[in-house]
Structure 1
Amino acid sequence: MTETRLEITELGHRGDGIALTEHGPVYVAGGLPGEVVAARIQNGRAIKPEFTQKSPDRIDPVCKHYAACGGCSVQHLAEEHYLAWKRTLVEKALKDRGIETHVSETIAATDGGRRRAVFTATRAGRSVLLGYHEKSSHKLVDVSECPVLDPAITGALKGLKSLAADLVPKKGELRITVLSTTSGLDVAFDKADKAYERKIPSLSQKTVELGLARLTINGEVLLEVRPPLLDMGGAGLLPPPGGFTQATLTAEDTLSKLVLDGVGKTRTVADLFSGVGTFALRLARQSNVHAVEGDAAAIASLDRALRKPQGLKKVTFEKRDLFRRPLVRDELEPFGAVVFDPPRAGAQAQAEMLAKSKVKTIVAVSCNPATLARDLRILIDGGYALHSVTPVDQFRFSPHIEAVAVLKRE
């Protein structure tokens, strides 16, 4: 197989450089626009590329694990161009759906590092590895640092590996979700060895020695030293073990401000795909809110939070699968504004119902530009005007990007 000279012209949506050839695009891992590489080509990818011309926008990665770890893909791109690329991801997704609109500059929301991390642990002979998978591989990178994380999590890596050594199964992998809260780390192990019960005394002792707030194993709370609380705009909330939260506190505050600004002074708001109430608890400072979520554990956390005086307006909630049973037109009529923040699959069924409604303001939050564009297309075709689209970066060095869109029925 002969080497080919490739000129990279753009950065793909997964962070690979793209070189256009007569046989189609070739993807170059770690490549940047303006760079020239020599490489063998296999299945549309450059194999062991040698860079003969490098971009002035290239910088040194900040993590020693970068070359192998699959957690980050664009540590080598200068900040200004990195944020511009994230904005481009949103612009391209919208254009693919025929939506021509101004997209605001990307807001960097990664200060303080990610407060939530999901690690994998496995056995390697007599040792235990804890970290992330390599790029396009099942092989695990044993990490000793991770610059994108909250320092509290990074500082606990050695202790987490010690806990994992008591829980990792003989075959297969152990999943560890770590959340940094106001009262310490909340750690949840999943797929742990079922024989962990006989190790409960030592596991409890390690939990205390490590200063963890809560330890959960296979869905069972083994020890809660302190309630692992989150501050939701002044409202305290106890999240479910291993549950979803926004990755960084800065991003949560940024997204919430965009949502609140988009809703304005509306008296009644529906918060759909509400999760634990990230937006609902903040919206309730100024509006009556109805929160709808399909995950029972998330709804239970919101319920517990509302049982304590929080100085909020009226908040109601219901458990409901919005993919199968979206709110229909008559159910939407009482609300002056609707906020929705679905998983990556988007909110197609709900968007179709909203397009038929008379709701004046819709604020769409999304972690997937492609499904966001699809849902916005439905709403625009239903008579809504797109007022703003703002990208928010909370997954530093990754190809993931959040966006908040505000629509109004004129």
Structure 2
Amino acid sequence: MSHLIERLGHQGDGIAAGPVFAPMTLPGERVTGALDGQRLTDVRIEEPSDRRVAPPCRHFKACGGCQLQHADDAFVAEFKEGVVRAALKAHGIETTFLPIATSPAQARRRATFSARRTKKAAMAGFHGRASDVIIEIPDCRLLHPDLMRGIPVAEALAQQAGTRKGALDVAVCLSRNGLDVNASGGKALDGPLRALLAQMAEALDLARLSWDGEVIAMRQAPVQRFGAADVTPPPGAFLQATPQGEAALLADVSAALEGATRVVDLFAGCGTFALPLSEMARVHAVEGDAAMTEAMDAGWRKAQGLKQLSVEARDLFRRPLLPDELAKFDGAVIDPPRAGAEAQMAQLIAAKLPQIAYVSCNPVTFARDAAAAVAAGYRVDAVRVVDQFRWSSHVELVARLTRI
């Protein structure tokens, strides 16, 4: 039996009537395969779409890191913008969409590899599609070439300090001084393992090696630059996926807050926005992780020519900033996790801040929060989809909200 693919779901799978989910298919294609519940396996493309292209990476069919390499770039852009449009339409919101900002291939500066000991050595890579099987990715087209050196690092760590029970998760990030590595899921730390890991950090030429978030060795500070400031984030701290994506987000955040002189940065991380914004305004940065706020503050103190930056460690889900605390600001940037910022947005709205820049990794929760703002007298002036996770179904955006 053949199936006509009608649309793509939010995870990037084609959807036919039923519904039937078929990975690596596109709207308009007629496909066949073996039906396993609602999922089509062993998919054969009987009538391909004219939007179909040859995947640029030879690992695409097996690796679960990408979902959309079989579609042309214009289709992927339309799909991601469509996800945001649909989320806003569900709340009756119309706005202007700025051109999508798509990061180039081989631009990802952070990744988490899965690594496992084998009988003779070890292997590392990404999990296969809908599987816990590790797929080796020596020719990955997604990661920065310098980040690819993290694969043999992950293999070495798994071989020496992994367990037979499960895979080692090795988060690797490019810094200005080399690879910043944080591994978890391996052997429990003790004296001999600490000594071994310290030796490995030297042998593998790592800037920093951490084990379950604890720094084992820091040969050089794994510095990230935010505006004019150099910051050494704590192990595992959040970082935008690509430099190009970060630059696109920052440009729109800065434009949204043009003219503001006192800015509050909510869910500020290590200062991705707060530090560059402090070149033009006084900034108060609030983040739930105290180690991140300390790293941001240290970076600001060492930088030159910045306006005042104050930091606060505070759980904004449990204790959002209230209107009396927000009254002294004339602009806000908010970059919450996937759950959005329902409680904090309610307080921003109540405080009647004139300008809000909203950065989101979840169009659904963004649309919910934006709808609350619109109902209270705000306008969504513009939205830009920022595609840092090229060839994936993941959608990020930045929006400008202005009080009417």
Give the TM-score normalised by the residue count of structure 1: 0.94
Preserved contact between residue 124 and residue 152 of structure 2 (Cα < 8 Å): no
Correspondence for 1:180: 174
User: CA offsets, 1:145-181, max 9 Å, x none?
Assistant: 3211111111342233112211212312211111101
Preserved contact between residue 245 and residue 387 of structure 2 (Cα < 8 Å): yes
| Pair 29,309 (structure 1): closer, same or farther in 2 beyond 3 Å | closer
User: What code does the residue aligned with 1:263 have?
Assistant: L
C-alpha separation between the residues in 2 aligned to 1:363 and 1:218?
Answer: 34
**Aligned counterpart in structure 2 of residue 288 of structure 1, from 282, 289, 295:** 282
C-alpha separation between the residues in 1 aligned to 2:371 and 2:303?
Answer: 41
Q: Secondary structure at the match of 2:77?
A: helix
C-alpha separation between the residues in 2 aligned to 1:361 and 1:326?
Answer: 18
Matched, 1:33 2:30: no
4+ runs deviating over 4 angstroms: 199-202
C-alpha separation between the residues in 2 aligned to 1:200 and 1:318?
Answer: 33
Correspondence for 1:343: 337
Preserved contact between residue 110 and residue 251 of structure 1 (Cα < 8 Å): no
Q: Secondary structure at the match of 2:7?
A: strand
Preserved contact between residue 166 and residue 199 of structure 1 (Cα < 8 Å): no
User: What code does the residue aligned with 1:240 have?
Assistant: P
- Alpha-carbon distance, 1:296 to partner: 1.8
- Alpha-carbon distance, 1:30 to partner: 0.6
Report the more deviating stretch, 321-330 or 152-161. 152-161
Matched, 1:60 2:54: yes
Correspondence for 1:87: 81
Give the TM-score normalised by the residue count of structure 2: 0.96
User: Could you list the runs of 5+ residues in structure 2 that have no partner in the other structure?
Assistant: none
Preserved contact between residue 81 and residue 385 of structure 2 (Cα < 8 Å): yes
Correspondence for 2:3: 6
User: What code does the residue aligned with 2:379 have?
Assistant: A
Matched, 1:221 2:209: no
Correspondence for 1:159: 153
Q: Secondary structure at the match of 1:114?
A: coil
User: What code does the residue aligned with 1:385 have?
Assistant: R
**Aligned counterpart in structure 2 of residue 406 of structure 1, from 374, 391, 400:** 400
**Aligned counterpart in structure 2 of residue 16 of structure 1, from 4, 13, 18:** 13
User: Could you list the runs of 5+ residues in structure 1 that have no partner in the other structure?
Assistant: none
C-alpha separation between the residues in 2 aligned to 1:111 and 1:67?
Answer: 17
Preserved contact between residue 104 and residue 390 of structure 1 (Cα < 8 Å): yes
Preserved contact between residue 293 and residue 322 of structure 1 (Cα < 8 Å): yes
User: What code does the residue aligned with 2:11 have?
Assistant: R
- Aligned identity (percent) is 40
Correspondence for 1:150: 144
C-alpha separation between the residues in 2 aligned to 1:309 and 1:391?
Answer: 31
Correspondence for 1:209: 203
- Alpha-carbon distance, 1:405 to partner: 0.9
User: What code does the residue aligned with 1:117 have?
Assistant: A
Matched, 1:274 2:271: no
Q: 1:11-410, aligned counterparts within 5 Å?
A: 11-20=8-17, 24-110=18-104, 113-194=107-188, 197-410=191-404
- Alpha-carbon distance, 1:133 to partner: 1.4
RMSD: 1.6
Preserved contact between residue 358 and residue 400 of structure 2 (Cα < 8 Å): yes
Q: How many residues align?
A: 404
| Pair 299,404 (structure 1): closer, same or farther in 2 beyond 3 Å | same
User: What code does the residue aligned with 1:281 have?
Assistant: L
